Amino acid sequence: MQANGIHYVRLPPYSPNLQPIEGVFAELKKHVRSLVYEDGRYMDKPFHLMAAAVGMITTAQVAGQYSRVSHEISRPGTAAAAA
C-alpha cells in the first residue's frame, strides 16, 4: 500500500477532533437550531427540518472539515502524528 502512496495513520480509539463527520454534524446542528429559532413550525415537521438543514451544508464546509483533519494529523505533537 505504501508503494502506491497510501500511508496509515494510527488514531486513538475515539478522536472526535480527527473525524471530519463530527465537524459536519456540528454545522448541521447549528443550522437546525437556526431554522427552529426562525420558524418554530419546523418542530412539527422534523423531516422538513432535517432536509432544510442538510440543504444548507455546502461542499466547501465538508471539504473544510477534511482539510482541518489533515492539518491536525500532520501537525507534530498530536496523538495521531505521534502514533
Q: Is residue 80 pLDDT above 60, yes or no? A: no
Q: Is residue 25 pLDDT above 60, yes or no? A: yes
Q: What is the mean pLDDT of the chain?
A: 85
Residue type, 22: E
- The pTM is what? 0.67
Q: How many other β-carbons are positioned within 10 Å of the β-carbon of residue 12?
A: 12
What distance in Å separates the CA atoms of residue 10 and residue 58, rounded to the nearest whole number? 29
Across the range 61-70, mean pLDDT stands at: 89
* Residues 27-42 pLDDT 10s: 999 999 999 999 999 9
Instruction: Name residue, grid cell 423531516.
Output: 47
Q: Is residue 68 pLDDT above 80, yes or no? A: yes
Grade residue 8 by pLDDT with cuts at 50, 70 and 90.
Answer: confident
Q: How many other β-carbons are positioned within 10 Å of the β-carbon of residue 14?
A: 7
